[in-house]
């Protein structure tokens, strides 16, 4: 619970291609490099009282490219890189399955988000989604929430906001938070 018993909102963020450079099946911590504006953007979200929660598909585990323990080391490196900016992640949720496995946690299916809502005490009505792929945007849309595409490519599907810059996407989220609710 946040201030005065109000549950905080959250920004659900994709990892590869959104927070860090996408190297394709990242299996080594030395391959984690933050994209421009990420450290500052996450710090702004933290300061605004929004939880920052990573939701990531990591089918490299299910394909046998690397072990879950490698993912823990990679996420430690990600947290260290963010800490250099005075920023932090409130939680990281990962789907280790292959697309053909039909699990309930692979984006755009909302299983990991439901788990995070429960475990982190987050208010879905004050939550946003940021990512660089269609599945990230559909995840937000499937839950009736705003989603911003952090990418330079023009998608053939609708988005609430698009920018190639993560920091700009964070400013958009903060602008949404300041908008008055109701009619």
Catalytic residues, which ones? 14, 16
10-13 β-sheet, strand order: 91-95, 51-57, 10-13, 128-131, 147-150, 161-163
Determine whether 18 is exposed, middle or buried from the number of CB atoms within 10 Å of its CB (0-12, 13-18, 19+): buried
Residue 179 CB neighbours (<10 A): 6
Residues 6+ apart with CB under 8 A from 169: 41, 130, 148, 150, 161, 163
Measured CA to CA, the distance from residue 150 to residue 132 in angstroms comes to 5
Between CA 25 and CA 40 the distance in angstroms is 25
CA angle 114, 33, 93 (to 5 degrees): 15
């Amino acid at each position: 619970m946040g201030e005065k018993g109000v549950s905080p909102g959250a920004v659900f963020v994709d990892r590869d291609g959104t927070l860090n450079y996408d190297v394709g099946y990242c299996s080594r911590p030395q391959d984690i490099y933050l994209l421009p504006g990420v450290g500052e953007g996450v710090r702004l979200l933290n300061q605004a009282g929004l939880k920052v929660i990573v939701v990531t598909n990591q089918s490299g585990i299910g394909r046998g490219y690397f072990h879950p323990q490698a993912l823990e080391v990679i996420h430690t490196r990600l947290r260290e890189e963010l800490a250099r900016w005075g920023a932090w992640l409130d939680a990281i949720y990962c789907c280790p399955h292959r697309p053909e496995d039909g699990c309930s946690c692979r984006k755009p299916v909302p299983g990991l988000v439901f788990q995070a809502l429960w475990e982190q005490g987050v208010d879905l009505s004050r939550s946003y989604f940021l990512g660089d792929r269609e599945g990230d945007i559909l995840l937000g849309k499937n839950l009736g929430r705003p989603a911003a595409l952090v990418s330079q490519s023009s998608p053939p599907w609708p988005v609430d906001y698009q920018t190639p810059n993560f920091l700009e996407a964070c400013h958009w989220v903060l602008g949404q938070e300041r908008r008055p609710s109701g009619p």
